Amino acid sequence: MATVTEPGHSCGTSVLVRRVVGGDERAWRDLVDRNGGVVWAAARAYSATRADAEDVWQATWLSLAENLHRIRDAEALPGWLVTTARRESLRLARARRRESPAGLDGLLVETADNGGDPESAALRSVLAARLARAFSQLSGRCQRLLRVMAVAPEASYEQISRALGVPRGSIGPKKQRCLRTLRQRMLALGGVEEPEVAL
Amino acid sequence: MTGAGTELGLLGRLFRTADPTPARAVSRAYRVGRGLAGGAAARRFVLLSDSADAASSAGSEVGERERGLVFAVAGRVLDLALTPEEPGSLRASGMVLSRSGQPVPGGEVVFRHPTGTRRGELDAGGGFRIRAVPAGPVSVLLCPRTGGRAVTDWFVC
């Protein structure tokens, strides 16, 4: 997914929105490509299952399609998307009475059953398992923050703030604290050396 | 691993490998662009309450099976209950009232979902009942016999 924070893209978003409102389907696909990473990260961070996250993802884009002509400031679009995804994820989680774990343990189990391709083999590596286990031991807040920052490294602090519903000024310190805790968990689980098999 | 960038980079690669945005989801999002004006012409309902929020804040089991939502737009209130029917589908029932609490008889309630619609007629008391609403993203369109149409934002049920 391309960045949504580079100056060129920021300008491009306004143009894209105008083209989409004018019925340009290609421009719509570009909007999805540019913002999809952080929308998925927000939906997944607050959804119990991938199926729930997919429903939220789709509802978010459907809502955008019908509200796009109401968005006066195109620069606000990425924030609108992640806020919508987060709110709908939380509402769905409450409606279905599920917690919203963002951990990786279950995913690694699923992936381990997918056969012997190189990526699956890599995921079964010691480091991947250790990283996943350390991550799953973090608080829910840390898991959500690191997931969004890891999956959408191009996201601005403003977007992350909206995606997680936390003050923008707190993101940097929280990120450092969460990473420090992750390192400690990794150490406790057996070390933080470089992976023998690249992820 | 020696730095924050490295750790986040590894986590990012792990997530992108183990939990990427599903290709089918991206395709569905692309397809949304083919019908951009679906409900844009109607007035927008505003969500007034959702029993999921109330049950959560109260810590109660109210709404365990049934989810109640209330939407409003100028002159109209849509009181909606969603009840699980079979795996993957729900029964929708409810009433359409005027702002003064009077039933709005006649017309149609349409549940829009990504692959079609489910429709129900408003009876003389402003009530409706629609079966087999697919679980997932939906939006409710009210088409009363008198007055303008109104539509809710998309939400997941």
pLDDT digits (tens, 9 = 90+) for A39-55: 999 999 888 889 999 99
Contact call for A57 and B29, based on CB within 8 A:
yes
CATH number of the domain where residue A14 is located? 1.10.1740.10
Nearest to B114 by CA among A53, A33, A56: A56
Chain B residues near residue A135 by CB distance under 8 angstroms: 11
Q: Pairing relation of β-strands B43-44 and B150-151?
A: parallel
Q: Which of B132, B133, B106, B110 is nearest to B39 (CA)?
A: B110
Residues B28 and B46 in one domain: no
CA separation, residue A81 to residues A5, A42, A132, B53, B88 (Å):
14, 9, 28, 21, 26
Task: Give CA–CA dist A89/B142, Å, rounded.
Answer: 25
Q: Count Cβ atoms within 10 A of the Cβ of residue A49 and give its class: 0-12 exposed, 13-18 middle, 19 or more buried.
A: middle
Residues B27 and B78 grouped into a single domain:
no
CATH of the domain at A178: 1.10.10.10
Residue A199 near residue A167 (C-beta atoms within 8 A)? no
**CA–CA separation, A113 and A109 (whole Å):** 7
| Residue B17 and residue B75 in one domain | no
Q: Which of A93, A54, A77 has the alpha carbon at shortest distance from B53? A: A93
List CB contacts (< 8 A) between A110 and chain B.
18
Whether residue A2 lies inside any domain: the answer is no
Residue B135 burial (CB count, 10 A): 19
Of A54, A72, A95, at which residue does a domain stop? A95
B101 with B142, same domain: the answer is: yes
Same structural domain for residues A91 and A12? yes
Q: Rounded to an integer, what distance in angstroms lies between the CA atom of residue B139 and that of residue A143?
A: 31
Q: Tokens at residue B122, please?
A: 């408003």
Say yes or no: A182 and A123 in one domain: yes
Cα–Cα distance measured from residue A198 to residue A195, given in angstroms and rounded to the nearest whole number: 6
In this structure, the answer to whether residues B79 and B120 fall within a common structural domain is yes
Residues of chain A found within 8 Å of residue B156, distances taken between Cβ atoms: 52, 55-56, 59, 88, 91-92
Q: Within a domain: residue A73?
A: yes
Nearest to A50 among B19, B67, B114 (CB): B19
- Same domain, residue pair A90 and A117: no
- Confidence bin at A3 (pLDDT 50/70/90): very low
Count up the domains in chain A and report the number: 2
Both tokens assigned to A62: 């459907």
Choose the closest CB to B154 out of A59, A108, A199. A59
Cα separation values, A196 from A66, A87, A122, Å:
48, 40, 9
Low-confidence ranges of chain B (pLDDT < 50): 1-2, 58-63
CA distances from B11 to A178, A195, B1 (A): 13, 12, 11
Q: Are residues B112 and B130 in the same domain?
A: yes
The whole domain housing A20 covers 7-95
Last residue of a domain, one of A95, A114, A149: A95
Look at B50 and A91 and tell me if their CB atoms are within 8 Å: yes
Asked if B15 and B85 sit in the same domain, the reply is no
Query: What pLDDT digit, counting tens, does each position of A18-30 carry?
Result: 888 888 899 999 9
DSSP, res B92: E
Verify that B146 and B104 share a domain, yes or no: yes
In a shared domain, residues B79 and B130:
yes
The sheet carrying B67-73 orders its strands as B46-50, B67-73, B76-86, B89-97, B127-134
- Smallest CA–CA separation between A66 and chain B, in Å? 5
CB contact under 8 A, A179 and B12: no
Question: Contact B153/A153, CB-based, under 8 Å?
Answer: no
> Which of A20, A62, A192 is opposite residue B137, by nearest beta carbon?
A62
Is residue A91 located within the same domain as residue A16?
Answer: yes
For the domain that residue B91 is a member of, what is the CATH number? 2.60.40
Coil vs helix vs strand at B15: helix
> Of A12-26, A109-123, A130-144, B110-124, which gets the smallest average pLDDT?
A109-123
Q: Using one digit for the tens of pLDDT, what is the confidence trace for A53-79?
A: 999 999 999 999 988 888 878 888 888
Q: Is residue A170, in this structure, part of any structural domain at all? A: yes
Residues 36 through 55 of chain A touching chain B, CB cutoff 8 Å: 36-37, 40-41, 44, 50, 52, 54-55
Token pair 């991947």 is found at A128
The answer to whether residue A1 is domain-embedded is: no
Please write the tens of the pLDDT for every residue from B7-24: 888 888 888 888 889 999
pLDDT at B35: 66
Q: Which of A25, A55, A95 sits opposite B137 (nearest CB)?
A: A55
CA–CA–CA angle B99, B105, B108 (5° rounding): 100
Q: Are residues B149 and B108 in the same domain?
A: yes
Q: ipTM > 0.85? A: no
Domain interval for residue B88: 41-156
